[in-house]
Structure 1
Amino acid sequence: MEIIKKIVQLEHKRWIIGSSLIALFLLLPIIFLFSNIFEIEQTAFVYLWKNLLLDYSFNTFYLIAITSFFALLFGIFPAWYVSNYKFKFRVFFDIALFLPLAIPTYIMAFTYSDLLSYTGPFQSFLRNNYPDLSDIFNKDYLQIEILGIILGLALYPYVYTASRVSFSLIGSTYINMSKNLGLSSTKLFFKVIIPLSKPAIFSGLFLVIMEVLNEYGAVKYFGVNTYTTGIFRAWFSMGNENTAIQLACLLIFIVFTILFLEKLSHKKSKFYYSANSKIEKLSIPTTDKYLYIYSLCSLPFLLGFLIPFFYILNNSILNIKNIDFSRLIELSLNSIQVSTISTVLIIVTALLFLYVEKISKLKFNTFISQVTSLGYVIPGAVIGLGVILLFTKIPLLNSYSLVGSFYVLIYAYVFRFLAVGKSPIKSSLEKQPESYDETAKTLGLGPFKILQRIHFPINRLALITAFIVTFVDLLKELPITLILRPFNFDTLATQTYEFAIEEMMLESSSYSLAIILIGSVMLVFLKYVINKQINAS
C-alpha cells in the first residue's frame, strides 16, 4: 500500500503506472506457468522423478561444464593477446574472432556432424590417403563431448567480447606495479588481470550457460536428452502437458539459482580501477610468443567460423541448380521482417523501462526493470509453453486464433530478448550525469522532451549496438519460432532446421548461408561501433 501511495504522489506517475502495466503483461506467461504447477497430477510427477529427471539433469550440467570450459579457453586468451600485444593482422583477428556469433549453434552442430561423419570429407580423405589412420578416427561423433566442444566454438565470442572490453579498460598502473614487483607475464595475467576482469568474464560465461540451457536444435540432432528437449518431447511427442510444465518450472528454478549465485559472487567483491586513464601501450611480442599468439587467435576463428562457413558455401555451390531462389528470398524477407519489428519494439520497451527507472528513482521501478530482464535467462521452449497456455486457458485471453499469429510470436520475442536490448542502453544511460536532467527541467522540458532531445542523441551508439545485437539473436532464434510461428510461415532458421533434421544437408546449406551472411555483416558493423565506444581499435 505504501508503494501505491508513493506512486500516486509522484510527479511521473503516468510513466510509472504505464511501465508497470507493460511489465505485468510481459510476465503473464511465467506467472501463469507457475500457477499451473499446483494442478499437476501426482502420477506425472512420480514418472518424471523416477524415469527422466536424473538423465536430463546429468546431461544438462555435463554439457554446460564442457561448453563453459572451451568457451573460456577460446575466449579469454585471444582477448588478452589482441588487447595487449601489437602484431600483424591484430585488427583482422579482433573482428574475425567475433564472427562465430553469426553462426547459430544448431547450424554449427549440423555442419560438424556432416563433416565428421563416415561419409563426410574428413573420414573419406583419411580412408583414401591414410587407411591406417582411418580406423582410429572411425568413431561415432554424435556424442555429448563433441557437442560441448562445438557449442564452445559457437558461443565463445560472448566471453571474448566481455574479456576484450575489460582488458582494454585496465590502465597501465596495475601492470607497471606488478612488473616492478617482479611478476612474470604469466603470473601477471593469472594473479592480476584475471581477478580484475572476473566480473566481465563471468558475465560472458553466464550468457554462454543461458544459451546452452536454451539450445534445442543441436541437442535434438545429437540425441542428447536435456531439459529443453524433454519439454518438447513431453509436450509434443507424449502429449503430456503436466510433465512439460514440471520440467519448465524446474528449469526456471535452475536458471534463477545460477543467476542468484552469479549476483552473489559479484556482491562479495568490489572491483575498482581507472579505466583508460593511462592506457597500457601495446607490447611487441618476442619471437617465441608469436607462435602462441597466432595459434590461439587462429584456432577459434578457423574452427568456429572459417571451416563451417566454407563447408556451407561449398554445399550451396554444389546444390545451386536445385536452390529455390524465390523461396530463399521469401524466407530471408520473413526473417528480416519479424526480427526488425521485434527489435524495434524491444528497444522502445527497454528504453521506457530504463528511463522510468532513471527519472522515478524508486526501488519498485528498479525491481520491475530487473524482473522483466529475466526473459533472456528463461529458455525459449519454456516461454513458448507459457504463452500457449496463457492464450488458451485464461478466459479473458482465450482465443485460439491468437495462437499461431504474428502478434503472439512477437510478444514472446519481446519478453525473451528484452534483456539483450536493455543491456547496452542501461550501460550508456548510467554514464550520464544527473545534471543533464536537472538543467533540462529548469529550462521547462518535460520527461518526453528530455528523452527525445537529450538522452536519445547522447545514447545513439548504445541504441545502435542494442539494435544489432538483438536483431542477430532474433535472426537465429529457433525454439520459440518452432512453437509459435503462424501456419505456413517459415524463417531461415526453421527451414534450416527442418532440412537438417531430415539429413538434407545440401538443401539446408543455402538457408544456413543466408543467416551467416546477414549476421556477419551486422556483427562487423557492431564491432566497429564497440571499438568506437571503447576507443580500443
Structure 2
Amino acid sequence: MYLVLITSFFSLLFGVLPAWYISTNNFTGKNIYDILLYLPLSIPAYIMAFTYSDILSYTGPLQSFARNYFPDLASFLNQDYLQIEVLGVIMALALYPYIYTACRLSFSLIGANYIDLSRSLGMSRTKTFYKIIIPLSRVSIFSGLFLVIMEVLNEYGAVKYFGVNTFTSGIFRSWYSMQDVETASLLAVFLFFVVVLFFSVERFFNSKYNFNYKPNTKKFRHENPSTSKKIFIYTISFIPIFLGFIVPLLFIIGNVIYEFERIDFYKVFNLTSNTFIVSLIASIIIVLIAVYFQFLKRIIKNKILTVFNEAISLTYALPGAVIGLSLIIMFTSFPFKSEVLIGSFIVLIYAYVMRYMAVGISPLKSSFEKHPSSYDDTALNLGMSPIKLFKSIHLPINKSAIAIAFLITFVDIIKELPITLILRPFNFDTLAVQTYEYAIEEMIPKSSIYSLTIVMMGVILLIFLKKIVNKEIDVSGS
C-alpha cells in the first residue's frame, strides 16, 4: 500500500495542475505541450523503471558525469536507488497521464459559466480552482486515480526489478520459484478482495458525487497569463514531460545506437509482428463485443445487461497475475485434456479480452449514453430494423468513441506483461516479454531496441488518440 500511496501522490501532482493550466490558458506551444503530456503513457512502467535504474546507477550517465566534473556532488549521488520511494516516483511518471486525461476532459466540459460566476463573487482564479473546479471534477480525478492504483497493483516487471514485495510479485514467486500453487492462489484471492475494496470505493464516489453540471453555453475564454505565470506554467508542465518521456526516450535511443551493430533485426521484426497480431486480434474482439452490448442495452432495456457492464468493469481492476493464475487453475480442472487450451493463443487472447474489456467499454458507454433514446424509438417506430438502425445512426455518431476504444485497448495490450508471461504459448514471445527478460538479466542496453519499438508504437497510436480526443473537446465547447 505504501507504493500505491507514493505513486498516487506524485501522479496527482504531475497530472492535475498541468491539465488545469492547459485547459484555461493561452500560451505559445500549448498544443505541443498538451500532446507531449500524454506520451509518457507510451512507456510502460517496467521500461521506465529499467531505464531510470540504469541512469541512476554508479556506472550510469548521471553519476559518471558528476565524478568527472563535480566530485563533491558525486559522493552525494552515490546512493542505492532501488528503493520503494524511488520506484513510486518513477511509476508516477509513467501513469500520471491517466489522471491528466481525466482532468483535461473534465476541466474542458465545465466551461466558462462556473468560472464567470465565481469571478462575479470576487474569487481569484486560484481560489476558483480549489473551491469550484476541484469539487466539480473530483469524480473524474478519482476515476483517473483508480486506474493508477489498479496499474500499480498489476505491475510486475518494475517491482520485481526493484526488489519490492507486492501481491503480484508474491504470486509469481510462489507460483514459479516455490511451485506453491496454494500460496499463490491465497495471495490471488487476497489481492482480489483488495481490488474489490478499491472498486467499491470508486463506485461509491461515482454514485455520491457524480452529477450533471450545467453544460458550457458560451465559448470558454482562455486567460492570457503574465510572463511570470507563463514561466510557472512552462515549468510545471515541462517537468513531467522531461522526466517521464524525454529523458527515458533519449536514454533508450542512446542504448540502441550503442548496440546497433549487435541488434538482431529479424528477431525484432518477429517479436513486433507477434505483439502487433495478438494486440490487433484482442482489440478488435473487445471493440466488437463492447459495441454489441452497448447497442443491445439501448434496444433491450434489461437490468441483466447493466449488471453485466458492472461485472466487466471489475475485470479491468483484476491484476493480470490473478487472471492468468485463475485461468490456469480453471482449465486444469476441466475433465478433458486441458493441455490443448493451456499455452494456446486462444487462452492468451481470452485473457487479454477479459482484462481489457472494461477499457473498451468505457468510452463507448459514455458515447452511447450521450444520445437520447428518442433516436431509437423514432427509427424503430418508422419500421427501421435494429441492424439498419445501428448502421445508419449509431455507427456514424459513435465512430469517434469506437476509434478511441480500439486505440486505448491496443496501447494497453502492447505493454501487457504479467498475462503474457503466464499464458504465452511455447516459444512465443512479445516485445514486452523480451524487454523484461533481458532487463532482469542486467542486459538493459540489449533490451533497448525492444523497449524503443514498444514506445514508438505507443507514441504513434497516442498521437492518433489525442487528435480524436481534441475533436471531442472542441465539440464540447472548450
TM-score by length of 1: 0.87
- In structure 1, the partner of 2:379 is 440
- In structure 2, the partner of 1:374 is 314
> Secondary structure in 2 aligned to 1:395?
coil
1:312-343 deviations in Å (ceiling 9; x for gaps)? 01110111100001111111111010000000
CA distance in 1: counterparts of 2:216 and 2:443, whole angstroms = 51
| Counterpart check, 1:467 vs 2:406 | yes
| Counterpart check, 1:276 vs 2:216 | yes
Aligned to 2:420, which of 463, 478, 481? 481
1:353 deviates by 2.0
1:198-238 deviations in Å (ceiling 9; x for gaps)? 11111100000000000000000000000000000111111
CA distance in 2: counterparts of 1:520 and 1:266, whole angstroms = 31
Write the letter of the residue equivalent to 1:272: N
- In structure 2, the partner of 1:185 is 125
- In structure 1, the partner of 2:37 is 97
Write the letter of the residue equivalent to 1:229: S
**Residue range with higher mean Cα deviation, 140-149 or 346-355:** 346-355
Report if aligned partners of 1:476, 1:515 keep a CA contact under 8 Å in 2: yes
- In structure 1, the partner of 2:194 is 254
Write the letter of the residue equivalent to 1:468: L
CA distance in 2: counterparts of 1:180 and 1:453, whole angstroms = 46
CA distance in 1: counterparts of 2:445 and 2:77, whole angstroms = 24
CA distance in 2: counterparts of 1:129 and 1:279, whole angstroms = 53
1:270 deviates by 4.1
| Counterpart check, 1:140 vs 2:80 | yes
- In structure 1, the partner of 2:279 is 339
Among the aligned pairs, what percent are the same residue? Answer: 56
Matches within 5 A, 1:364-513: 364-395=304-335, 398-513=337-452
1:176 deviates by 1.4
Report if aligned partners of 2:139, 2:210 keep a CA contact under 8 Å in 1: no
1:52-79 deviations in Å (ceiling 9; x for gaps)? xxxxxxxxx0000000000000000000
Report if aligned partners of 1:391, 1:402 keep a CA contact under 8 Å in 2: yes
- In structure 2, the partner of 1:361 is 301
Alignment size in residue pairs:
476
CA distance in 2: counterparts of 1:427 and 1:123, whole angstroms = 48
- In structure 1, the partner of 2:157 is 217
Report if aligned partners of 1:404, 1:484 keep a CA contact under 8 Å in 2: yes
> Secondary structure in 2 aligned to 1:268?
helix
CA distance in 2: counterparts of 1:271 and 1:315, whole angstroms = 49
Write the letter of the residue equivalent to 1:509: S
1:351 deviates by 1.5
CA distance in 1: counterparts of 2:299 and 2:195, whole angstroms = 31
CA distance in 1: counterparts of 2:349 and 2:156, whole angstroms = 20
- In structure 2, the partner of 1:47 is none
1:242 deviates by 0.8
Report if aligned partners of 1:169, 1:279 keep a CA contact under 8 Å in 2: no
Write the letter of the residue equivalent to 1:219: V
CA distance in 2: counterparts of 1:245 and 1:399, whole angstroms = 19
Aligned to 2:25, which of 85, 88, 103? 85
Deviating beyond 3 angstroms after TM superposition, the runs of 4 or more aligned structure 1 residues are: none
1:387 deviates by 0.7
- In structure 2, the partner of 1:175 is 115
CA distance in 2: counterparts of 1:146 and 1:69, whole angstroms = 13
| Counterpart check, 1:126 vs 2:66 | yes
CA distance in 1: counterparts of 2:256 and 2:460, whole angstroms = 19
1:154 deviates by 0.3
Report if aligned partners of 2:113, 2:216 keep a CA contact under 8 Å in 1: no
1:278 deviates by 2.0
- In structure 2, the partner of 1:68 is 8
> Secondary structure in 2 aligned to 1:197?
helix
1:287 deviates by 1.8
1:136-170 deviations in Å (ceiling 9; x for gaps)? 11100000000000000000000000000111111
1:443 deviates by 3.0
1:183 deviates by 1.4
1:277-303 deviations in Å (ceiling 9; x for gaps)? 223211010122112101011000000
Report if aligned partners of 1:417, 1:470 keep a CA contact under 8 Å in 2: yes
CA distance in 1: counterparts of 2:190 and 2:391, whole angstroms = 42
**Residue range with higher mean Cα deviation, 294-303 or 174-183:** 174-183
CA distance in 2: counterparts of 1:497 and 1:121, whole angstroms = 22
1:354 deviates by 1.8
- In structure 2, the partner of 1:37 is none
Write the letter of the residue equivalent to 1:301: I
Structure 2: 5+ residue runs without aligned partners?
Answer: none
> Secondary structure in 2 aligned to 1:409?
helix
CA distance in 1: counterparts of 2:257 and 2:230, whole angstroms = 36
- In structure 2, the partner of 1:163 is 103
TM-score by length of 2: 0.98
1:268 deviates by 2.3
Write the letter of the residue equivalent to 2:65: F
- In structure 1, the partner of 2:244 is 304
| Counterpart check, 1:516 vs 2:458 | no
| Counterpart check, 1:527 vs 2:466 | yes
Report if aligned partners of 1:81, 1:293 keep a CA contact under 8 Å in 2: yes
CA distance in 1: counterparts of 2:218 and 2:135, whole angstroms = 19
CA distance in 1: counterparts of 2:433 and 2:206, whole angstroms = 38
Write the letter of the residue equivalent to 1:73: L
Aligned to 1:351, which of 285, 291, 305? 291
CA distance in 2: counterparts of 1:428 and 1:297, whole angstroms = 30
1:471-492 deviations in Å (ceiling 9; x for gaps)? 0000000000000001111111
1:513-537 deviations in Å (ceiling 9; x for gaps)? 0000011010001000000012178
Report if aligned partners of 2:407, 2:461 keep a CA contact under 8 Å in 1: yes
Write the letter of the residue equivalent to 2:292: L
- In structure 2, the partner of 1:35 is none
- In structure 2, the partner of 1:10 is none
Report if aligned partners of 2:298, 2:373 keep a CA contact under 8 Å in 1: no
Report if aligned partners of 1:86, 1:284 keep a CA contact under 8 Å in 2: yes
- In structure 1, the partner of 2:228 is 288
